Structure 1
Amino acid sequence: MSVLSRIFARKDPREQARPAYDRVVALGRDPYWYLDGGVADSVDGRFEAVMTVLGAVLLRLERDDADTTVRHFSVHLAELFVDDMDGQLRQNGVGDLIVGKHIGKMMSALGGRLGAYRGALEAGDVALLADALRRNLYGDAIVSDAAVAAAGQHLMALYARLKALPVSAILQGDF
């Protein structure tokens, strides 16, 4: 790196969302999802749990998206997710030619989950959320009603906690 590039280097604006993204990942790796919620403790299961938590955070941020700072932050948070998943795919041996296709599917899945969870979380509709979780968090896995209910309660509690916080706390990763 040249002296000039060090002097004039600009920070990656996505890094402002790093503490929040790290918190999303930590919450997605909470053993509760796997022990009580019945999510498979596998690469796919952990991906689904992280994406579920990310979805709750993005839905909370939507409430303040008239603010351009919040809107940009949401984009940066999603971009960090993409970067992380890109690295995970490559680490698991997915080749360069296929990574983009996988990332496209992941972003489509995230959008689908936002749509599926939005109404249920906003309305506090446990039955609607359970149905959305069965389709999205668990996929084709056979999971007990008790596990789905536990995951639903956990997600509802997370969303309630996020809604109660000022957006500034979420932007700092304090949730």
Structure 2
Amino acid sequence: MRLPFFQPKALADAGPLYRAIVAEARRPDWYREAQVPDTLDGRFAVLTTLLSLADIRLERGADPARALGPRLAEAFIADMDVQMREQGFGDPSLGKQVRMMVGALASRIDRWRRAVEAIDPWDETTRMSLYGYAVPEGKASAQAVEATKLWWQRLQATGDSALMTGQMG
């Protein structure tokens, strides 16, 4: 006899949203106009910045959107595991490296939550999130600030269902 309330609950698939975020992080504008270094660290900074804002947007959605947040983090962890293995990291150091990356993501989410709530300045948060202490001269950091604002506006303007399937306007 199978009772319906003992059935495992199907988990939402964060793959489409994660792939949309990765596609955004791969846009050359981040590295050309905003001058984020086109390195592993720079790409990681862009990805986790965009992922942080998407996570915060999911938190502000209805129950299904909020439930997708942990799945999005799991997609990130799985991707980082694959990326690290491809870079040659072995099992003894892999767990530590992935934990450090997850910690960096959590730190960015906290920092961006404060910017979204207008507790901390958006431009300062953008610069710290994307460049750390090596902010480029000229218009590049202003481009980065504008790009993160546009990303946040796109996330906010997208309904939960579309967002959950990675279809941002």
Question: In the TM superposition, what whole-angstrom CA distance separates every residue of 1:51-108 from its partner, at most 9, and x where no partner exists?
Answer: 111111111111126x1x2232111111011100111111101111111111111111
Change (3 A) 1:55 1:159: same
2:115 is the alignment partner of 1:120:
yes
Shift in Å, 1:109: 0.9
RMSD: 2.0
Shift in Å, 1:21: 0.7
The correspondence of residues 152-167 of structure 1 with structure 2, limited to 5 A, is: 152-167=145-160
Shift in Å, 1:130: 2.2
Shift in Å, 1:142: 4.1
- The aligned amino acid for 2:37 is A
The correspondence of residues 18-57 of structure 1 with structure 2, limited to 5 A, is: 18-57=15-54
Distance in 2 (CA, whole Å) between partners of 1:13 and 1:117 is: 26
Per the alignment, residue 106 of structure 1 pairs with 101
- Superposition TM-score, scaled by structure 2 size: 0.86
Equivalences, count: 160
Q: Give the alignment partner of residue 95 of structure 1, picking from 90, 95, 104.
A: 90
Distance in 2 (CA, whole Å) between partners of 1:76 and 1:48 is: 20
Structure 1: give runs of 5+ residues left out of the alignment: 1-9
Shift in Å, 1:146: 1.9
Per the alignment, residue 77 of structure 1 pairs with 72
Distance in 2 (CA, whole Å) between partners of 1:47 and 1:77 is: 16
Whose helix fraction is larger, Structure 1's or Structure 2's?
1
Distance in 1 (CA, whole Å) between partners of 2:151 and 2:37 is: 20
- The aligned amino acid for 2:16 is P
- Contact 1:121–1:156, Cα closer than 8 Å, also in 2: no
Distance in 1 (CA, whole Å) between partners of 2:24 and 2:117 is: 20
- The aligned amino acid for 2:75 is L
Per the alignment, residue 150 of structure 1 pairs with 143
Shift in Å, 1:133: 2.5
Per the alignment, residue 59 of structure 2 pairs with 62
Shift in Å, 1:168: 0.8
- Superposition TM-score, scaled by structure 1 size: 0.83
Distance in 2 (CA, whole Å) between partners of 1:144 and 1:80 is: 34
Distance in 2 (CA, whole Å) between partners of 1:145 and 1:120 is: 23
Q: Percent identity?
A: 37
- The aligned amino acid for 1:43 is L
Change (3 A) 1:145 1:60: farther
Distance in 1 (CA, whole Å) between partners of 2:11 and 2:84 is: 24
